[in-house]
Amino acid sequence: MKNGNLYKLLFDHMLNGFAHCSVVYDADGRAIDWRYVAVNPAFEKQTGLKDATGKLASEVIPGIHISDPEILEIYASVADTLIPARFERYVEALHAWFDVTVFAHEKGTFTAVFDVVTHQKQATEKIVASEVRYRRLFEAAQDGILILDAETEKIIDVNPFMITLLNNSIDYFIGKELWELGFFKDIVANKEAFAKLLKDKYVRYENLPLETHTGHHIWVEFVSNVYEVSGKQVIQCNIRDITDRRQLEMRLTEEHKVLEDAYDQTLMGWARALELRNKETRGHSDRVVEMTIRLAKRLGIEEEELVHYRRGALLHDIGKMGIPDSILLKPGKLTEDEKAIMRLHPEMAYILLEPIGFLKESMTIPYSHHEKWDGTGYPTGKAGKDIPLAARIFSVVDVYDAMVSDRVYREGMDQTYVLEYIKSVSGTWFDPKVVIAFLLMLKENE
């Protein structure tokens, strides 16, 4: 292929716009325009200008010299000096950004090779705007922010709030690791925390103690994540001072504990009042509370639920406060009518406790501990697992303690006999799984 044909093929298939032009001068030798001598197809595609060859720029792009006279100056200078030039320009007449390279091989002419870079320019402007917005947020944030190099684990930037939080200068932070600020006194723990952060790209710590360089202790919420900037991994740490919130929470926790203690003392007073009224059950409440908690733990009841088991066990017979002394303290057997009245004490317990909000989850035992596994119990006749677990656990403990304890009308029964009896009614009166756990618990205690 001849060189001319090769160059023509390259010219026609170039992705860049290509325009070979001659400068037009006035009588005084001043450049006043340029003429398109040859343009390639990409020129037309990128500019949208048709039939430019042989025409003046002012004819092809009306107003070009007025809107940007410096373009002509650049072209004329290259045509005069033969020194190449490169520039980026927004051509208002074409509503586009161009990246232009200009060169010349003889005076009075020049060749412009260009790309339309409007999208790239807009993307860059968005990035710049985004960086400006982020920097403004970074500077104005009401949380402390640290930026660390993920590779060196050292601080490379810090916002004003963090400087204020620790009452120090920016020089105090730059180049330090986090443990040097008082977050992690243990360097090994610090390294482990960073390993987790780099693996998971995110860590969060609640109520993290922080000691400032002045020895002042504060509590912070610490959130950190890893991201990439220009191919480099950085770590951003957001630190929020929650000292006031932490102190308020601690104070509320203390006050709540005091209130709960007061509640529990009141409940114990109720239980003691019932024992004073019904002397043969003295100590019964304490014993069944202790055994119920042990058995509940054995059956996997979570710690936060045990408070309701304890209160329910303590108040299991509170409904008997509504039973007449003639029935409650009767030394002999009860008549059927008297039994019917005695069986009302779970419902009386419900009436007594239901209005008390903090005892809502503790009513299960007082209300349901006389239900039976086979459905023959009272007050509702529930059966099997429809009976709340707390009541199933307590009923075994209650019957055991009642049988081995002395009563006005009889002495306490032999433990071996009582345990055999409990085994015999497992599956009818009691939940079999609860019975097994109860027997194992007693055996271990022995």
* 404 located within any domain: yes
Residue 100's CATH number: 3.30.450.20
Does 95 share its domain with 148? no
Looking at residue 238, what is its pLDDT?
A: 85
Q: How many helices and strands, by DSSP H and E, does the chain display?
A: 19, 10
pLDDT at 37: 92
| Residue 421 belongs to domain with CATH number | 1.10.3210.10
pLDDT tens sequence across 98-145: 889 999 989 999 999 998 887 777 766 665 666 667 667 777 777 888
What pLDDT shows up at residue 437?
95
> Is residue 203 domain-shared with residue 88, that is, in the same domain?
no
Residues 216 and 296 in one domain: no
> Is the separation of the CB atoms in 367 and 350 below 8 Å?
yes
Q: What angle do CA 121, 99, 67 make, to 5 degrees?
A: 90
Identify the pLDDT of residue 277: 67
For the four alpha carbons of 329, 333, 338 and 339, in that order, the dihedral sign comes to positive
> Pseudo-torsion of CA 381, 386, 388, 391, nearest 10°?
40
Are both 44 and 104 inside the same structural domain? yes
Task: Please indicate, yes or no, if residue 233 is contained in any of the structural domains.
Answer: yes
Q: What is the pLDDT of residue 1?
A: 40
Q: What is the pTM of this model?
A: 0.49
For residue 387, what are the domain limits?
248-445
Q: Residue 306 and residue 322: Cα distance in Å, rounded?
A: 27
Tell me which residue of 295, 284, 288 sits closest to 440, measured CA to CA. 295
What is the spatial order of strands in the sheet that 17-25 belongs to?
31-39, 17-25, 109-116, 96-103, 85-91
Sheet holding 232-241, edge to edge: 154-158, 144-149, 232-241, 217-229, 202-211
Query: 259 and 216, same structural domain?
Result: no
CB atoms within 10 A of CB 251: 10
Given 241, 269, 304, which residue is the final one in a domain? Answer: 241
Domain end call among 83, 117, 151: 117
Q: Are residues 347 and 385 in the same domain?
A: yes
Q: What is the DSSP letter of 387?
A: S
**Is the C-alpha dihedral spanning 424, 428, 433, 435 positive or negative?**
negative
Q: What type of residue is 81?
A: T
> Does residue 231 fall inside a structural domain?
yes
For the chain (446 residues), the mean pLDDT of every run of 10, in chain order, is: 60 82 91 91 87 90 75 92 90 84 92 85 65 69 83 87 80 82 64 77 78 71 81 83 80 77 74 67 79 94 91 88 84 86 91 84 92 95 95 95 77 89 95 95 83
Q: Are residues 24 and 54 in the same domain?
A: yes
Whether residues 46 and 93 share a domain: the answer is: yes
Q: What confidence tens digit (pLDDT) does each residue in 354-372 have?
A: 888 878 888 999 999 999 9
Same domain, 201 and 265: no
